[in-house]
A = this chain, B = another copy of it.
Amino acid sequence: MSASAGTSNRRTRVASLRLRPPPKTEAAAEPIARAATTHLEQLLGYNARRAALTLIARFMEDLAEHDLRPADFSVLSALNHHPGMTSRQLCQHLNILPPNFVGLLRQLMQKGWVRKIPHPTDGRAVGLFLTPAGQRLMTQAEAMALQSDREASSMLSETERKTLIRLLQKIYLRDE
């Protein structure tokens, strides 16, 4: 999402060009703002993306206070609940390509949140574990994530929230 998404929410003040004769009815400059996306709004994919970007933008702001990005959070959360996963396992379950995981993991280790422990019998594999500092971080970060997510969707009732999650899962769980 572009930076302007978060900051330039005011309406455009650019005058309509009227390069064509204006329609009979009063279609001024302003209505274009809504109408321009009207056709896209029929698409479920478009709506899901817009909502996801709205929710995630909020989530990312809050994560940044912990010096984390979404991928970091996903990895640390997985290790928090399933210590000892290997790089390969994490990549498969979080849909990260192994070459892209190398740098990510290096950062998490440099920050002192993750450590490697070689597998006792398989010299290729290395188990990944949160350090005590990593565990403390995730206790905070996971609570924050839950709260952040709730606040960003505070316009929904509890029933609506549950319905929404159920329908969204119906879409993507089909794929697995």
Q: Which residues of A contact B (CB under 8 A)?
A: 1-5, 8-9, 12, 14, 17-20, 32-33, 35-45, 47-56, 58-59, 74, 77-78, 81-86, 88-90, 92-97, 100, 117, 119-120, 122, 125, 127, 129, 142, 145-146, 149, 152-153, 155-156, 160-161, 163-165, 167-172, 174-176
Given A9-B176, A14-B86, A50-B168, 9 new contacts (CB under 8 A): A2-B95, A17-B119, A33-B93, A44-B165, A45-B59, A45-B149, A49-B56, A54-B171, A163-B163
Q: Which residue of B lies closest to A138 (CB)?
A: B39
Q: How many copies of this chain does the complex contain?
A: 2
Residues of B within 8 A of A100 (CB): 2
The complex places the Cα of A100 from the Cα of B8 at a distance, in Å, of: 17
Q: Which residue of B lies closest to A118 (CB)?
A: B19
Instruction: Pick from B14, B39, B155: contact of A81, CB below 8 A.
Output: B39
